[in-house]
Structure 1
Amino acid sequence: EVLPHFKSISGIEWEFKLNSMVQMDSSKSGFVGSQVELRCQFVNSNPPVKISQVTWQKLVNGTKQNVAIANPALGVSVLSPFKERVRFKNPAVRQRTPSLEDTTIVFNKLKLSDESTYICEYTTFPAGNRENMVNLTVYARPMIQMSLSTPSVVAGTKDLKMTVATCVSANGKPPSVITWETDLNGESNTQEIRNPDGTVTVRSDYLVVPSREIHQQLLTCVSTYNDEQYTDSVTLNIQYEPEVIIEGFDGNWYLNRENVQLTCLADANPPISLFQWRYLNGTMPSTAELGDDVLIFKGPVTYDIAGTYICDASNSIGTGSASVEVIVTGVFTLPTRL
């Protein structure tokens, strides 16, 4: 006889359970590929009832699908598609005179499709059927990958933000939460893609204005899955045209001074492929010797080397230039002390 549900005056719903003889966990969980036990134990009465059969079932769209059956006369049967992955834990269940009080089953190599509600049903005499259920949740650890959007990004002249790095947490269940750790003044754009198998792929792009100042800056992706954190970092490779200065003229090039030279210093990525020197006051002085980034003046200083010198430094991105005006004085000048 099945007793009905009823509600008390306080509004709390109670249920008389004829199935309290079947003890199970209310919920269990495991990761894809792992093993999980679904406990089912029968607490017999006094005097004891006779167990005729135990049937494990999976609820699929409201209908019951048999998983495993233990019968004292017919033995143990595990049905497709569970045959290779499900077994009764207690060896006594599989004996000639089986003990069916503990019919815990073990799932191996969990699949996402195993997530469901499972019913453990005892057929007894004379008490009839007794059952209970457990909710099985299957998790999937994501694959974490971080990468630069391209091996290198070219700095632009406009303040346009562009994607410089991408962090992907693929095929996770539940989905990961992606955050970024960096000193850069950028922003992230995150989206979730729901996969047909129930997993979620989270993709987060980091956008920033590419510039010389952020070259070789560190960018770290933090992916949080359940209570686990995964971090990965990349170093930005920003390509930019040369920024050039000329060193060597100290304002004290006087007549007959020896060993003077100008050096072209360029900050560039990729490195400088070509240095070129120009003299704006006519033909390059005969005492000037060109040596890539260095312009060496041989012999003593004369008035002939006075004038404006320009260094052009080029890489594959562009060309940067700097100039210096060389003034030749008649006498040595003591440096001014601050």
Structure 2
Amino acid sequence: MNLESIKAVKQLLSQPQKIVIVPHKNPDGDAIGSTLALWHYLVDRGQEAVVIAPNDYPKFLKWMPGNENILNFERENSQAKEKIAEATVVFTLDFNHLGRIGQMQSVLEDLAVPFVMIDHHQAPSDYAEIMYSDVSMSSTCEMVYNFIEFMGDVDKISLEIANCLYTGIMTDTGSFKFRSTTGRTHRIVADLIDKGAENTQIHHRVYDTNTPGRLHLLGCALKNMVILDQYRTAYITLSQEELDAHEYQKGDTEGFVNYGLTLEGIIFAVIFIENKEEGIVKISFRSIGDFSVNEFARAHFEGGGHNNAAGGKSDRSLKETTLFFESLLVNYKEQLTA
């Protein structure tokens, strides 16, 4: 965050504001952790603030302090629109294009107030007057820690803020194993633990609360895995029928895509999940090394994200999507087998 942006935010927050904080649609640990951490920080500073999520999110994230104050735009639409209409400032976290917030997009696009973006994804759009965008960061939660530091308030990080930030950093770094995890990341995490972050309990709450249905669904996903050794690629499919048979709940497929990368020699892993309600196949891409799944997703599946983690979608059937995906790999064989 440059000096000019820091001064602009300090000026904004030097007077009382009505602040709306927004994560992306289908928010994950980093999105909920960062928005709640910022919410606690702003409220502790005496600001009036509210987090409005575009839609629901997994149960394993709902233990975080402040969760009960989040408005769900789909479920609490009139109340959420009222808060947006009253807003004097909007913070958008963990996304950089208003197309990532579903039904909220048109509402926010009509809002004539300052926007502040805090995000670590590639190719940001220019909707925000104040942008803190850094693709080298491990997570938006790490950036919120930095934001609080830029404001001169690291000593004001409470137990609640520490727990939220730790959760987002832990989940978005794959428990600190992804390449974006730096020495700075670990130093921040150490400070959060010193400030009270309950690291062992957080890991348990996020990763050790599986239902039998989720574990059975994982077994189904692994059974469906296709391994393409010639492209150092593995992919998983899950049909709507398979999701329904295992009583799928939001968040149940979180992390499934990473199992492909545990195979020796595999550097590209994908999961294709059919969603008949939306009429699409949702896709998650992961890679190891220099193969950019961000570029792959942008080029072929209306998606994007990071070099080693991205998402996308397909309007084709599940079978047609996987056949199309396989047909693309021949064009990337040199990159995948280098």
User: If each structure's strand is expressed as a fraction of its own residues, which one has the higher value?
Assistant: 1
Q: Same fold (TM over 0.5)?
A: no
Q: TM-score, normalised by structure 1?
A: 0.20
Question: Which of the pair has more CA radius of gyration?
Answer: 1
